[in-house]
Structure 1
Amino acid sequence: MARVILIDDDPTHHHLAKALMQHYEFFDDYKCYTDPRTALIDLMDAYYSSEALPDLILLDLNMPGVNGWEFLDMFDNLRAMVSKDIPVFIVTSSIDPNDMQRSKEYTAVKGFYSKPISPAIFKEVVEKRSA
């Protein structure tokens, strides 16, 4: 089991993801964010206070303010300081093949999935995280 954070501005996606996580017991602990900046601040606070960091991140790309790409750029800076490898799995409504290709430029990104989130996606994420 793992600790996960979900970063997505869509409350419907949060509700569906929470329901699936609870029903299938994919993760021990999860936290949802609608604002990537808040998630990044919490990650930095956890790092500096020696709190447990998440085991993986589920990230949307298309969000107002700071989008998923900008989050990944900032997260790369944090990853450089942290000894723990925190994989990122993109779960997005984007069907643009350029987005999938671009995601491969980030070493933290371990998977790219289309919404809606499903039990099959969660199962694959868990398997990829363990590999």
Structure 2
Amino acid sequence: MAENTKQVYVVDDDEIFHFILKKLFEQQDDQLKVTSFLCAEDALARLQQPDNQRLPSLIILDMNMQRMNGWDFIEAYRDIKSSLSQQIPIIMCSSSIDMRDMQKVKRTPELKAYITKPLDSVKMQQIKDYLS
């Protein structure tokens, strides 16, 4: 991975969403590596690996997943974030338009934004703004 390549973790149990997001990123930026996780537990395990790999510049997190959902991921991330060499911005991405979810995101300091699915060019630009 080139030194200036940014890495994004996508944590979502929908494989089609991973495919679409990768295609959208490829169209916009060749200096980006997308790493997909179909379950939150795998993403947390990767973040905790002591092999000194580069941490992602951004995590895109689905709210509704099997076993461990996005809110559970945030709780577990809080337990490990002090051991990480940098704080990682997290964007919650979900098809939910429930105002209670949006309010909860605003009260969750680890979450930088809430973006609703499906993604479009405007939402992709919002995501890219957190990569700078």
Deviation at 1:70, TM superposition (A): 0.1
Deviation at 1:49, TM superposition (A): 1.7
Amino acid at match of 2:121: P
Give the helix-richer structure, 1 or 2.
Answer: 1
1:79 partner SS? helix
Deviation at 1:126, TM superposition (A): 2.0
Task: Specify the alignment match of 1:119 in structure 2.
Answer: 121
Amino acid at match of 1:127: D
Q: How many residues matched?
A: 128
Gap change, CA 1:59 and 1:10, over 3 Å in 2? same
Deviation at 1:86, TM superposition (A): 0.4
Deviation at 1:104, TM superposition (A): 2.0
1:70 aligns with 2:68: no
Task: Specify the alignment match of 1:5 in structure 2.
Answer: 9
Deviation at 1:25, TM superposition (A): 1.4
Task: Specify the alignment match of 1:102 in structure 2.
Answer: 104
Distance between the aligned counterparts of 1:91 and 1:22, measured in 2?
A: 19
1:37-74 CA-partner distances (Å, limit 9, x unpaired):
011101111xx221100000000000110000000110
Gap change, CA 1:106 and 1:80, over 3 Å in 2? farther
1:22 aligns with 2:35: no
CA contact (8 A) 2:61 2:91 kept: yes
Deviation larger for 84-93 or 117-126: 117-126
Task: Specify the alignment match of 1:33 in structure 2.
Answer: 37
Percent identity of equivalent pairs? 29
What is the TM-score with the length of structure 2 in the denominator? Answer: 0.89
Distance between the aligned counterparts of 1:27 and 1:89, measured in 2?
A: 20
Segments of 5+ residues of structure 2 without an aligned counterpart are none
2:48 partner SS? helix
Deviation at 1:85, TM superposition (A): 1.8
Amino acid at match of 1:86: I
Task: Specify the alignment match of 1:43 in structure 2.
Answer: 47
